[in-house]
Amino acid sequence: MRILSGIQPSGILHAGNYFGMMKPSIELQEQGEAFYFIADYHSMTSLTDAKLRREYTQRVAIDFLACGLDPKKAVLFKQSDVPEHVELSWMLSSVCPMGLLERCHSYKDKLAKGISPNHGLFAYPVLMAADILIYDADVVPVGQDQKQHVEVTRDLANKFNDLYGETFVVPAPRIRGDVAKVPGIDGGKMSKSYNNTIDIFGEEKAIKKRIMSIVMDSRGMDEPKPDAEENNAIQILKHVADKETYEATVEALKAGGYGYGHVKKKLFECYWEHFADARKRREELLANLDFVDQVLREGAEKARNIASVVNKRARVACGLE
């Protein structure tokens, strides 16, 4: 089984990216041939600061390694180190109906927010299809918001295969139900663009402040809360607390007499503790940036070995060679 996923270097790692994609991806490194990349080409559609792109790209690599990606098991690389992605993206663009892209929610959401779209933003799912197809990937671990993009990938793979003969493996998204949509502090999907994120490697005080500002409903402390599992803070607690702590907190809320302030304090303690080892590893990596660069360099070489073969297969299939 070949596994592939990507993450944009467009901000600081937050609990949505971590639980939605990074953690499941790290777990999957034990189960197949895993390829994970930093989608720096994709970040160009929204981030226009070159210095920040370099910084965020390195940060994603550091964070991924700190969280447990093992470069002996998984290939970690930077998308733009494998320029074949862009060539394949052109081949796929030419079999991609405009309507397919016009229907994409993430594009429509950005339009609705008043963002004036560039061509890169419109063509974003085509490059994403190339990212996936160029590794003959079977499984793509993503959060719910990327599901439609993986469906576009399947459509384009089938279309190309129909037109030019069997060329691509048709991949499937792998979305873990429990982390499909990690809520932010306002209860909506956690996302940098909604300014509702909780960082993974932020300052202790800042993380505490974010957690204490999670929006709760207005029911008083004594009131029983039979829907405790749906509470924003409880949903995040589930990921960072041990089973007993999680269950005891849910039960206490259900029974009534346990305030939301307690829940948030508990959440902060568990959250901070949950990332203690990763924080330590991250400090070590920050003192050894040559190692991080080397992982990316070697990753790019391994990735390119595969990408160049699939790209050539596509070039031959459609008559470029």
Residue placing its CB nearer to ligand TYM in the complex, 39 or 258: 39
State yes or no: residue 171 binds ligand TYM (CB under 6 A).
no
By CB under 6 A, residue 173 contacts ligand TYM: no
Q: Which of 110, 208, 225, 238 is catalytic?
A: 110
Nearest to 210 by CA among 228, 231, 185: 185
Based on the shown chain and the rule CB under 6 A, indicate whether residue 131 belongs to the binding site for ligand TYM: yes
Q: Is 189 a catalytic residue?
A: yes
Residue 101 CB partners (closer than 8 Å, separation 6+): 107, 122, 123, 125, 126, 152
Site size for ligand TYM, by CB under 6 A?
A: 26
Least Å from the CB of residue 73 to ligand TYM:
19
Binding pattern for the stretch 31-70 against ligand TYM, x by CB under 6 A and - elsewhere: --------x--x----------------------------
Residue 145 within binding range of ligand TYM, rule CB under 6 A: yes
How many angstroms separate the CA atoms of 168 and 43, rounded? Answer: 25
Q: Which of 159, 181, 192, 254 is catalytic?
A: 192
Return the residue of 3, 28, 65, 128 that touches ligand TYM, per CB under 6 A. Answer: 128
Among this protein's residues, is 181 annotated catalytic?
no
Q: How far apart are CA 143 and CA 196, in angstroms?
A: 17
* Helix (H) or strand (E) segment spanning residue 37: strand 33-38
Q: Which of 21, 88, 236, 270 binds ligand TYM (CB under 6 A)?
A: 21
Residues 6+ apart with CB under 8 A from 82: 37, 134, 300, 303, 304, 307
**Measured between alpha carbons, how far is 131 from 125 in angstroms, rounded to an integer?**
10
Q: Which stretch binds ligand TYM (CB under 6 A): 88-96, 179-187, 222-230, 261-269?
A: 179-187
Instruction: Please identify, among the stretches 12-20, 154-162, 223-231, 258-266, the one whose residues bind ligand TYM according to the rule CB under 6 A.
Output: 12-20
The one-letter amino acid at 276: A
Report the residue number, 84 or 131, with the smaller CB distance to ligand TYM: 131
Q: Which helix (H) or strand (E) holds 313?
A: helix 289-317
Spatial contact of 154 and 173, defined as CB atoms under 8 Å apart: no
Q: Which residue has the CB atom at the shortest distance from ligand TYM? A: 20
C-alpha angle 279/4/80, rounded to 5°?
80
Q: Which residues contact 206 (CB under 8 A, 6 or more apart)?
A: 199
Helices (runs of H) and strands (runs of E) counted in the chain: 15, 5
In angstroms, give the least distance from the CB of 130 to ligand TYM: 9
- The DSSP letter of residue 10 is S
Active site residue 23: no
Taking CB under 6 A as the binding criterion, the range among 4-12, 154-162, 239-247, 253-261 that sits at the site for ligand TYM is: 4-12
The reply on whether position 146 binds ligand TYM by CB under 6 A is yes
Stretch binding ligand TYM (CB under 6 A), from 93-101, 175-183, 226-234, 303-311: 175-183
Q: Stretches 177-185, 236-244, 249-257, 295-303: which one binds ligand TYM (CB under 6 A)? A: 177-185
Sequence length of the chain is: 321
Using CA atoms, how far apart are residues 297 and 161, in angstroms rounded to an integer? 32
Site residues (vs ligand TYM, CB under 6 A): 4-8, 16-17, 20-21, 39, 42, 128, 131-132, 140, 142-143, 145-146, 149, 179, 181-182, 189-191
Residue positions annotated with a catalytic role: 110, 189, 192
